[in-house]
């Protein structure tokens, strides 16, 4: 069976596959550009996106705002002007509003926002072509966001990303619910679809809903399409591609991971997160790791330097600067199934059933 296209307003991707945003330094222009070129939706992570800039340590915000433009332009150059390139921005980000407005300024096709409720997102993209998508994990969260947007801004989402408990990185679940069975999440997914349908009717527009979290192969993709999804979001499988921006030492952690290496950790953001066991996760479970330098990554609401267990920016930076054992390596629940390096076109060929993927 041929996979359908994914339409987001006036944008259409050849395949219903969104590459999840992964930061720091994992999904930048090379990966996002390659995914979009192959027919999917490429997503750049805004999390310390300018970390490679020589001025980053002195002025992280300025370096990040600069890198948003350069990474977006490089991704578009790889994928072509008709491609779909977006950004993932955590609600907990310090100066969240400036990041969103900067993405709009550079011409972002899409902004996906989670790690909190992006209540004010519509006003930040007003009068622009940029599409917006909240990340939700429950029908309750979907209702709160869509109802607020409808009442306050007289608009709705262009896309909704539903993130299940098998996702990597920050999870919109309690520690207990992070171990929820996929079948249980399928029921919740159905409830979310019904909630979204209310606003499709109200605004007389299609709101595509994509599922994220534990999506590994074509069977998984078809499963969620059969449940009523318009597509899926996949992240972990892209990490070991040649095009992924992460260093080989990071990719090797994925290739070496066993099922018993996957654990749920506490993030300074205040949410549980799924990561690969290493020296960092072992240490962070036993002691508070001193903060050497603040890089202004989280809002004051989410970061109290006196109480947070560690600096999330430093641990994520360790992971992509040749210190993977000493850093935080987020990964999805199916990472142990990944055994060899691949390429973005090869993954799309596997998922679509096509022998080759024309990089148009």
Cβ-contact 61, 98 below 8 angstroms: yes
Helix (H) or strand (E) holding 273: strand 272-276
Average pLDDT, the chain: 94
Does the predicted TM-score (pTM) go above 0.75? Answer: yes
Helix (H) or strand (E) holding 45: strand 41-45
* Per-residue model confidence (pLDDT) at position 356: 61
Residues linked to residue 112 through DSSP beta bridges, in sequence order: 88, 133
User: From first to last of its 360 residues, what are the pLDDT tens digits of the chain?
Assistant: 799 999 999 999 999 999 999 999 999 999 999 999 999 999 999 999 999 999 999 999 999 999 999 999 999 999 998 999 999 999 999 999 999 999 999 999 999 999 889 999 999 999 999 999 999 999 999 999 999 999 999 999 999 999 999 999 999 888 888 788 889 999 999 999 999 999 999 999 999 999 999 999 999 999 999 999 999 999 999 999 999 999 999 999 999 999 999 999 988 888 899 999 999 999 999 998 888 888 877 777 777 777 888 889 999 999 999 788 999 999 999 999 999 999 999 999 999 988 665 554
Check whether the bond before 24 is cis (ω within 30° of 0). Answer: yes
Query: Rg for the chain (alpha carbons), in Å?
Result: 19
Cβ-contact 190, 227 below 8 angstroms: yes
Structural domains in the chain, CATH included, are 6-245+339-352 (3.20.20.70), 248-335 (no CATH)
* Per-residue model confidence (pLDDT) at position 176: 81
Q: Of 151, 112, 118, nearest to 131 (Cα)?
A: 112
* Per-residue model confidence (pLDDT) at position 355: 66
* Per-residue pLDDT reduced to its tens digit, 92-118: 999 999 999 999 999 999 999 998 899
Angle at 116 between CA 110 and CA 117, to 5 degrees: 70
């Amino acid at each position: 069976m041929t996979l359908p296209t994914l339409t987001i307003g006036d944008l259409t991707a050849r395949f219903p596959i969104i590459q999840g945003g992964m930061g720091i330094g994992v999904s930048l222009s090379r990966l996002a550009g390659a995914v979009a070129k192959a027919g999917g939706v490429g997503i750049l992570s805004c999390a310390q996106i300018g970390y490679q800039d020589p001025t980053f340590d002195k002025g992280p915000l300025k370096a990040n705002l600069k890198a948003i433009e350069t990474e977006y332009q490089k991704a578009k150059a790889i994928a072509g002007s008709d491609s779909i390139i977006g950004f993932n921005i955590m609600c907990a980000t310090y100066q969240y509003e400036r990041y969103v407005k900067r993405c709009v300024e550079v011409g972002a096709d899409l902004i996906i926002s989670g790690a909190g409720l992006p209540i004010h997102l519509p006003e930040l993209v007003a009068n622009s072509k940029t599409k917006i998508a909240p990340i939700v994990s429950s029908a309750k969260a979907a209702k709160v966001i869509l109802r607020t947007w409808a009442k306050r801004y007289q608009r709705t989402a262009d896309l909704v990303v539903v993130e299940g408990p098998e996702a990597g990185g920050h999870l919109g679940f309690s520690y207990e619910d992070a171990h929820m069975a996929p079948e249980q999440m399928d029921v919740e997914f159905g409830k979310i679809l019904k909630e979204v349908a209310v606003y499709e009717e109200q605004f007389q527009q299609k709101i595509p809903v994509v599922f994220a979290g534990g999506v590994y192969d074509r069977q998984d993709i078809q499963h969620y399409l059969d449940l009523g999804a318009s597509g899926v979001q996949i992240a972990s499988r892209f990490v070991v591609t040649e095009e992924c921006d992460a260093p080989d030492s990071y990719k090797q952690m994925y290739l070496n991971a066993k099922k018993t290496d996957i654990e749920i950790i506490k993030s300074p953001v205040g949410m549980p997160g799924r990561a690969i066991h290493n020296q960092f996760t072992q240490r962070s479970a036993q002691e508070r790791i001193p903060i050497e330098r603040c890089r202004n990554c989280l809002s004051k609401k989410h970061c109290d330097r006196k109480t947070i267990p560690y600096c999330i920016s430093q641990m994520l930076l360790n992971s992509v600067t040749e210190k993977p054992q000493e850093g935080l390596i987020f990964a999805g629940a199916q990472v142990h199934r990944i055994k060899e390096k691949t390429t973005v076109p090869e993954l799309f060929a596997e998922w679509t059933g096509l022998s080759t993927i024309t990089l148009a």
